[in-house]
Each structure stands twice: as C-alpha cells, then as structure tokens.
Amino acid sequence: MAQQVKADIVIGGKKLEHFTHLQINQSLFTHHTFEIAVPFEVLENKDDFFFKQSHTAMVGEVATISFKTVYKNVPADFKFLGIVTELTLVNDSDMINSFVISGQSPTCLMEDGVQRRAWVDQPFPNIINAILKDYSSFNKTVNVVFTEKISYKAQYDESNWDYLTRLCDEYGEWCYYDGTKLVVGKAVHPEQPFVTDGIQHFSMSIGVKPNQVEMMHYNYQKHERYTGKGLPVSGLGTFGDFAYSKSSSLFAQASQQWPLRDVQFKAQLDDAVEAINKGSATNLVKFNGAGENPNLGVGVVVDVTARKLDVAETNKFKEESAGKYRINSITHTVDEVGNYSNDFEAVPFSVSTPPLNPFIVSPTALPEVATVKFNEDPLKLGRVKVEFHWPNVLMAKSNWIRVAVPYTGGARGSLYIPEIEDQVMISYEANHVDFPVVIGSLYHKDPSTNYWFDNNYQKIIRTKGGNKIVMKDKPGEQEFFITNSNNKDTGLHISFKDDGVVHIYTKGLIQLDAKDIKMHATNNVEITADNEMHLHGQTKVNVTGNEFNVKGDSIVDITAPNVDVYE
C-alpha cells in the first residue's frame, strides 16, 4: 500500500481544501518548482466561467505546503515554501474548467535582473552577503568555508542567482534551497532510512569518465608560473574509490583549464584544482531511488538498506547496507486521494564537496570603454585603476590592471601610461570578467583640443605637460617639430622642403657642450648677435682664411702685451 499523506496547502492565507494533483520538483542546482491542479470551484464561484478573483488571490502569493502521514507510523515534517508565479485556466474536452497553480522557490526572486558590478579587496563572505542583502523575503544561512580576501571579483550581465551559484561553484561552496531556506556554505545534512522493501526500490550505476584536471596560471607581479594538478581524490566509498581509480587509469591525459579564481600563490591554484576534482568525482556513482518517505529532500542523506528474500528460510529477509547517499534532486507527487511517492537521484555522501553545477555558464566579457581614475601604481608596474561605464557607478571600479603598451621592461620599447580621466578600451584575458586589461586609449570630444587634419597629414605625440612631437606629411612640405604647447617660443623645426631647413629657436639659452664641436658649411656661415659676441679659447683662438676683414663702424681696438702683424 502506498504511503497516505494529508497535504496542507496554504496560498496567500487561503487554504486549499481540495486538489487533484500535486507535484514538487527540488534540485540542488536550480530553483524548485511546484504544480497544483485544483477544480475550478476551489478558486472561483462554480457558476462563473473565467477569471474573476482567482488570479488576485493566487499569483505572486506565498505558498506553504506540508505533509502529514495518515496510516503508517512514519512521522512526517516535510515543509515547502514557494511563490506562485503562474495561474493557468484549463478547459478540457468535456467543457469542464480547472486551474493549475504553478510556482517556484523564492530563490527565483534573485532572477530580477542582470547586473554589472565589481568588488575590490573584499572578503568572500562580504561579497556573498552583498548579493543577498536585498532579499529579505526568504530565509537564508551563510556559513562559507572560504573566507579569504579577494582582490577583484565582478558580476557581469548575470542575475544575482546566476552570480551567486557561479561564485559558490568556483570556490567549492554549497549553495541550494532546502525547501524552506537558502543554504550557502556549510550545511547540515539530516539522515533518513531507505529500505528496499518492494514498495521502495532503486537503481544504482557505477561508471567511468575523465576526472583529471590541470591548471596553469602566470603571476605577473612575481613573474612566476604555477601549475596545479591536485592530489588524487579519496574517501569516495568503496564504489566511488573504485570508479575514480578506474577512470584515472583509462583517461590518463588531464584536462587543461583556466583558473576561475584570483590566484596569488600556488597553494590557491591547488585548492581550485582540488575543488573541481572532488566535485567531478561525486558523479561517478549515482543512486536513483523511488519511495514513499515524505521526509526526503535536497541535501538529505539516505541510509540505504538492501533487502531480499532469504532462500534458505521461508518468509525471512536478508539485509545489507548499500551505503549512504546525498540527494541532489527529488520529485514529490501526491494524487487526489493522498497517495504519496517520490523519485530521487543521489550521490555518495562521503564527499564533503558539492557536485559541480552543470548549469553554470561563465559570462563572456567583451571589450568596453572605461575611464582611468588612478595611475600611481604602488608596485610600479605601469598599472591603472579604471571606472567602467556601468549603471552602478559606486560598484564600477577596478583594481590595479595592466596596460598593453609597446614596452616590456628592461629599458626596451615605448612607455606611455594613460593619465587620470583618460578614456581607455578594456579587454579581458581569456574573455573572463575578473581579468581586465587596458588595450588602448580612445579620443573623445572633451577636452576640445582638435587633432583632426584633412587627409590625415599630421601625426602628433603629446604628453600632459604639453611636450609634443609634430610630424606633417603634406606632399612636398614634410616637416618635423619638437616643442611645448605651453612655451611655443622654444623648439626644433626641421623642414624637408627643397634643400631642407633645421631651425632651433628659443628666447632663452642655447648651449652646446661637447669634447669637440665642428661646424661646416658648403656655402656661408653667418653668426649675428643683437648685442655682444664673444669668442674665447682657453689657450688660443685661430681665425684663418684666404681673406680676413675686420671692420668697426666706430673703433677697432686690439689690445695685448705683444701685437704682431705680418704682411
């Protein structure tokens, strides 16, 4: 005989006295769902035909579902809290109307909209609590194992639910709804017996699959390359250890993966590999059961006892423990007369790490524009901090990120670090949102300095202090300038027109210092001073030529202890 239960269903304060079908689907990885079929007159007046008051009484309201056993001496404390998300009016071939009430666990409220926001130098629990702080309508417990500070972590075009589950999957933390509350981090897994007695039965599979992971990471701050392979996983139970060992021998080549965490040390990379290895290993053994114990739910551990007839003794049974398994998903079904049954899938209980979430999809980060806010890199690596053009400006800041320039250190290349308030283009290593890098600078209307020229004849290199190099490429009039926008009376002008001109000019001093200085002109040399001109040699001044003219408009004065004039 099937387990008989009395299902108490209350939605928006209204108790449903009668239903024809009830089903609750619970999963470790996704929102739970439920569906309740009720006669039309349960929600509307039997003389009506269409929606009158049912939709206002049901849609968006909290649903509370609980079971109590009727005949068997099995106490039941099953309880489920959800939200009605849809009410369907069904008209069948007999022209009889009925309603189907559908809903989800309150975790569906975390799908309220995708976000772009970032956390800088925050402990992992702070990030989790920040994600959850706006959802006070359902209960939750947060007790994560990983509590270290993370230098940079970003949510990128993801709902809060998607981001929360991705974070927990990356760091090997539990994250699931247990029917009444959201559990994040350490979890208590109650145990329930499961005896195969003919009414309750099971199927169990033991398989092999690739389970070895290898990760590589380069730490540019230390110029070190880390490789993480992880230690072999153990403690999977008799069947799990066998499947893991056999899988390792069959699939010898490790899968090479990009670390999804911020890695500063090799130990952190090893932790990331270990979390993936353990999470993957839990799926080598699967236990599928069908039973009638209403106390089962996601995260509950079933202690399985296999029973069969003893051929040696009449009406006697042999029993053997088949191990303990943690439920990943379960479906509860109750029919119109209260017959209860469930179907579930479970994995070995011995592994403390949660299975890998198959629904996790890391967002693909695409190039985007940002504004430089800081460029005084404390490590002197030429990095900058930027502010992304995201709706939430207060949470649009990056940590120190590298700048792609034609300079690789060791005094080689050209080094230009963007200035504060410069607009830059951001890309991402491996398209991962947590690894931004500046790949170039962008020009915009403000400031208004215009460097646009017809036919693109002019190229300019300029610094924030006004120093600039100007190259003009107009055919037949090529020129080269070195000057300063704040002091245009000093500079170097080189013209390549005709025979060319080199012009050095300033209102200050031009000084040449060298061991030897030699000047040669194929035509004339002219030196003019508006005031005085001095030629001085520490030992001798020689002036020679085929003809030497000295002319003074007023006086020619030659003074020396000895004056020799030769003809």
DSSP characters over 252-291? -SPEEE---S--SSHHHHHHHHHHHHHHHHGGGEEEEEEE
Determine the average pLDDT of the residues in 557-567: 77
Using the structure block, give the residue that is written with the tokens 């706006």.
134
Mark whether 117 and 185 lie in a shared domain: yes
Q: Report whether 99 contacts 40 (CB < 8 A).
A: yes
Q: According to the 3-state scheme, what is the secondary structure of 211-245? A: CCEEEEEEECCCCEEEEECCCCCCCCHHHHHHHHH
Indicate the pLDDT class of residue 313, thresholds 50, 70 and 90. low
For residue 194, what are its two tokens?
A: 């499961």
pLDDT of residue 96: 83
- Residue with more model confidence, 159 or 447: 159
Q: Report whether 183 contacts 107 (CB < 8 A).
A: no
Instruction: Give the separation between CA 135 and CA 117, rounded to whole angstroms.
Output: 17
240 CB burial (10 A radius; 0-12, 13-18, 19+): buried
Q: 264 lies in a domain?
A: yes
Using the structure block, give the residue that is written with the tokens 């283009």.
425
Gyration radius of the chain over CA positions? 40
pLDDT of residue 401: 96
Residue spans of alpha helices (H) in 20-143? 40-43, 54-58, 124-132
The answer on pLDDT for 358 being more than 70 is yes
Task: Please provide the size of the chain in residues.
Answer: 567
Beta-carbon neighbour count of residue 561 at 10 Å?
Answer: 4
Q: 555 lies in a domain?
A: no
The answer on pLDDT for 344 being more than 60 is yes
Mark whether 471 and 382 lie in a shared domain: no
Of the given ranges (107-116, 121-130, 232-241, 419-428), which has the lowest mean pLDDT? 232-241
Mark whether 62 and 162 lie in a shared domain: yes
Determine the average pLDDT of the residues in 167-180: 94
CA distance from start to end of the chain: 144
Mark whether 226 and 312 lie in a shared domain: yes
Mark whether 416 and 460 lie in a shared domain: no
pLDDT of residue 315: 67
Determine the average pLDDT of the residues in 464-492: 91
pLDDT of residue 77: 82
Of the given ranges (91-100, 212-221, 444-453), which has the lowest mean pLDDT? 444-453
pLDDT of residue 175: 96
Q: 561 lies in a domain?
A: no
Q: Report whether 5 contacts 340 (CB < 8 A).
A: yes
Last residue of some domain: 442, 460, 484? 442
Q: Report whether 37 contacts 21 (CB < 8 A).
A: yes
Strand residue runs (E) in 404-485 = 423-428, 436-442, 458-462, 467-472, 479-484
Indicate the pLDDT class of residue 61, thresholds 50, 70 and 90. very high
Q: Summarize pLDDT for 8-49 with one digit per residue, the tens.
A: 999 999 999 899 999 999 999 999 999 999 999 999 888 888
Q: 567 lies in a domain?
A: no
Q: 542 lies in a domain?
A: no
Strands 149-158 and 115-123 come out as antiparallel
The answer on pLDDT for 492 being more than 80 is yes
Instruction: Give the separation between CA 294 and CA 341, rounded to whole angstroms.
Output: 8
Mark whether 254 and 190 lie in a shared domain: no
Q: Which amino acid is at 528?
A: T
Q: Summarize pLDDT for 371-389 with one digit per residue, the tens.
A: 999 999 999 999 999 999 9
Of the given ranges (285-299, 366-380, 449-463, 501-515), which has the lowest mean pLDDT? 449-463
Q: Report whether 233 contacts 281 (CB < 8 A).
A: yes
**Domain containing residue 13: CATH number:** 3.55.50.10
For residue 288, what are its two tokens?
A: 């599928």
Mark whether 8 and 146 lie in a shared domain: yes
Strand ordering across the sheet containing 423-428: 385-388, 368-374, 423-428, 436-442
Last residue of some domain: 415, 442, 469? 442
Quick one: which of 113, 120, 152 has its CA closest to 433?
A: 152
pLDDT of residue 449: 62
Indicate the pLDDT class of residue 179, thresholds 50, 70 and 90. very high
Mark whether 386 and 465 lie in a shared domain: no
pLDDT of residue 208: 93
Q: Summarize pLDDT for 133-155 with one digit per residue, the tens.
A: 999 999 999 999 999 999 999 99
Q: Report whether 401 contacts 194 (CB < 8 A).
A: no
Indicate the pLDDT class of residue 495, thresholds 50, 70 and 90. very high
Determine the average pLDDT of the residues in 391-407: 93
Indicate the pLDDT class of residue 418, thresholds 50, 70 and 90. very high
Q: Which of 179-193, 301-315, 546-560 has the highest mean pLDDT?
A: 179-193
Quick one: which of 318, 326, 176, 299 has its CA closest to 237?
A: 326
The answer on pLDDT for 1 being more than 60 is no
217 CB burial (10 A radius; 0-12, 13-18, 19+): buried
Instruction: Give the separation between CA 228 and CA 271, rounded to whole angstroms.
Output: 9
Quick one: which of 115, 175, 177, 189 has its CA closest to 146?
A: 175
Mark whether 486 and 459 lie in a shared domain: yes
Residue spans of alpha helices (H) in 65-172? 124-132, 160-170
Q: Report the domain count for the chain.
A: 4
Instruction: Give the separation between CA 112 and CA 31, rounded to whole angstroms.
Output: 13
Using the structure block, give the residue that is written with the tokens 């002219």.
526
Q: According to the 3-state scheme, what is the secondary structure of 344-413? A: EEEEECCCCCCCCCCCCCCCCCCCEEEEEEECCCCCCCCCEEEEECCCCHHHCECCCECECCCECCCCCE
The answer on pLDDT for 299 being more than 60 is yes
The answer on pLDDT for 64 being more than 90 is yes
The answer on pLDDT for 486 being more than 80 is yes
Q: 418 lies in a domain?
A: yes
Q: Which amino acid is at 248?
A: S
Strand ordering across the sheet containing 181-185: 139-143, 181-185, 175-177
pLDDT of residue 103: 98
Of the given ranges (67-81, 446-460, 520-534), which has the lowest mean pLDDT? 446-460
Q: 10 lies in a domain?
A: yes
Mark whether 269 and 324 lie in a shared domain: yes
Last residue of some domain: 394, 419, 442? 442
- Residue with more model confidence, 109 or 450: 109
Q: Summarize pLDDT for 515-558 with one digit per residue, the tens.
A: 999 999 999 988 888 888 888 888 888 888 888 788 877 887 88
Indicate the pLDDT class of residue 268, thresholds 50, 70 and 90. confident
- Average confidence score pLDDT of the chain: 89
- Residue with more model confidence, 65 or 273: 65
DSSP label at residue 45: -
Q: 550 lies in a domain?
A: no
Mark whether 372 and 430 lie in a shared domain: yes
172 Ramachandran zone, left/alpha/beta (phi>0; psi -120 to 50): left
The answer on pLDDT for 311 being more than 70 is no
**Domain containing residue 407: CATH number:** 2.40.50.230
Determine the average pLDDT of the residues in 417-443: 94
Q: Report whether 471 contacts 458 (CB < 8 A).
A: yes
pLDDT of residue 307: 80
pLDDT of residue 544: 84
285 CB burial (10 A radius; 0-12, 13-18, 19+): buried
Mark whether 322 and 213 lie in a shared domain: yes
Range of the domain at 378: 368-442
Beta-carbon neighbour count of residue 369 at 10 Å?
Answer: 13
